[in-house]
Structure 1
Amino acid sequence: MTSKDYIEYIELVTKKIEENKDYVTELDSITGDGDHWANMNMGFQKLVESKEELSAMKLSDMFKKIGMLIMSTVGGSSGVLYGSAYINASKIIGDREYLDIKLLCDVLEEELNAIMKRGNAKPGFKTMIDSLYPAVNRFKLALEKDLDESTALRELKQGAIDGMNSTKDMEAIRGRAFYQANKGVGHLDPGAVTMCYQIEVLVDYLL
């Protein structure tokens, strides 16, 4: 993926988030304070508004700029977490002009580590990490086994879907759902849902 490709992907994610407004908002109203969709939508709309500037940038500079735009636009913890993820990932991209499959895996792993560190959270806490962690691990394992790229990408996607679904039975350790009487048990985590959307769209775009 070049910078231009990445921005095309961002546009597709923005559309996916737009289309799921009612579902994500309802989910977040049950488990949180109902603003997760609005925050995510605002952030991605901002990226789309800046697409001409972003797609003309060097890949690492674009990732850094995306991180800064998300941090300054998205409210709540999501802004800081996504912003940190992109800014950290920009450092490992360095001078490379495009993401190949190995670098994509490294970028996603770096983003995962940044989110876990900044959010002081880990898998099983009922957060966005529960989609990203199994997705990255399955992707990494597929590449280590030398599976073909399309199979590795499908592993990435399935890991995200399975991870998202696993949040239904979890008790929240982080996030707004932690303050609910039932700690959000019985409902998917909205942060895990929107993270899963991003990974699904990425894989579908690349395939």
Structure 2
Amino acid sequence: MGFSLRSRDYMEYIKRAYELIHSRGDYITELDSATGDGDHWTNINMGFESLVQQADRLEEMELSEQFREIGRIMMSVIGGSSGILYGSAYIAASKPLEGKEKIGEETLYEVLLSMLDAITARGQAKEGDKTMIDSLAPAVKKYKECLDRKEDAELLCEEVKKAAEEGAENTKKMEAVRGRASYQADRGLGHLDPGAVTMSYQLVTLMDFAAEKSREK
């Protein structure tokens, strides 16, 4: 059976993602302090916390409007380049949701692909540059493969989740092209990219939640 996520469901996912990100504060800050400014977790946590605080309002919106508003909130609350990238991603992802009341398997792929395209274009980065893209891009690729094979929803969610986690883990072997880590002698080699890790947290939470919804049918 497939899954379908409505506006209220998506905000439930946001709450769960916030709980996971919030609980990993020390770990993410430690990762970021090794290669960057040490403020990545503070910024991302602040953005998701703001979304949770406004959940009652956001969950009453149509999906496309909800995503645009999430994008605006993230852009205004999350500091640095992450706010611009996440904001751009959500605003871009609102387009495939126009006129839709729920997010199914095909639509969620379109949403994630739109996010990936927006982040890639706005950040002028690509897979392998040691950024959040290195978690999101493998997940989107795996998602398309699963759709093409017409995989069961639960297997699709598990495969995409695994691709996101492995993508984040692979950043340990990459040299940074952008950000403060790129100025270090080792260019961050041997360290995980915190942006890829927090992106993987979101994708893992989303896929777990989608799988859970598929079992309710």
TM range (shorter): over 0.9
Q: Quick check: 1:126 aligned with 2:101?
A: no
Aligned with 1:141 (options 134, 137, 145): 145
Q: How does 1:66-77 map to 2 (within 5 A)?
A: 66-77=70-81
The alpha-carbon deviation at position 109 of structure 1 amounts to: 0.5
SS in 1 for 2:189: coil
**Maintained 8 Å contact 1:127/1:175:** no
Structure 1 unaligned regions, length at least 5: none
Q: Secondary structure at the match of 1:14?
A: helix
Of 174, 177, 180 in structure 1, the residue corresponding to residue 178 of structure 2 is 174
AA at the equivalent of 2:40: H
State the shift of 1:175 in Å. 2.0
2:109 to 93, 99, 105: 105
SS of 1:161 mapped into structure 2: helix
The partner residue of 1:14 within 11, 18, 22 is 18
1:189 counterpart (193, 202, 205): 193
The DSSP-based 3-state class of the residue aligned with 1:61 is helix
C-alpha distance in 1 between matches for 2:155 and 2:18 = 25
Q: Structure 2: 5+ residue runs without aligned partners?
A: 212-217
Report the Cα offset of residue 92 of structure 1.
1.4
Q: Which moved more, 1:65-74 or 1:177-186?
A: 177-186
Cα RMSD over matched residues?
0.6
Are 1:161 and 2:165 an aligned pair? yes
Q: How far apart are the structure 2 equivalents of 1:71 and 1:64?
A: 11
In structure 1, the residue corresponding to 2:94 is in which secondary structure?
A: helix
- What is residue 38 of structure 2 aligned with on the other side? 34
Offset at 1:138?
Answer: 0.4
Return the offset for 1:153.
Answer: 1.1
1:180 CA drift (Å)? 1.6
How far has the Cα of 1:5 moved from its partner? 0.3
Corresponding letter in the other structure for 2:59: S
Residue number among 97, 117, 120 corresponding to 1:116 in the alignment: 120
Residue identity in the other structure for 2:6: T
- What does 1:47-86 align with in structure 2 at a 5 Å threshold? 47-86=51-90
Structure 1 residue 71: Cα displacement? 0.1
Cα displacement (A) at 1:176 = 2.0
1:41 Cα deviation from its structure 2 partner? 0.4
Post-superposition CA distance 1:48-71 (Å, at most 9, x none): 011011000000000000000000
Shift of 1:36: 0.1
Identity of aligned residues (%): 52
CA contact (8 A) 1:32 1:177 kept: yes
Q: CA deviation at 1:104?
A: 0.2
How many residues align? The count is 207
Displacement of 1:150 = 1.0
TM-score normalised by length of structure 2: 0.94
Q: Which runs of 4+ in 1 moved over 4 A?
A: none
TM-score, reference length from structure 1 = 0.99
Deviation at 1:126, TM superposition (A): 0.1
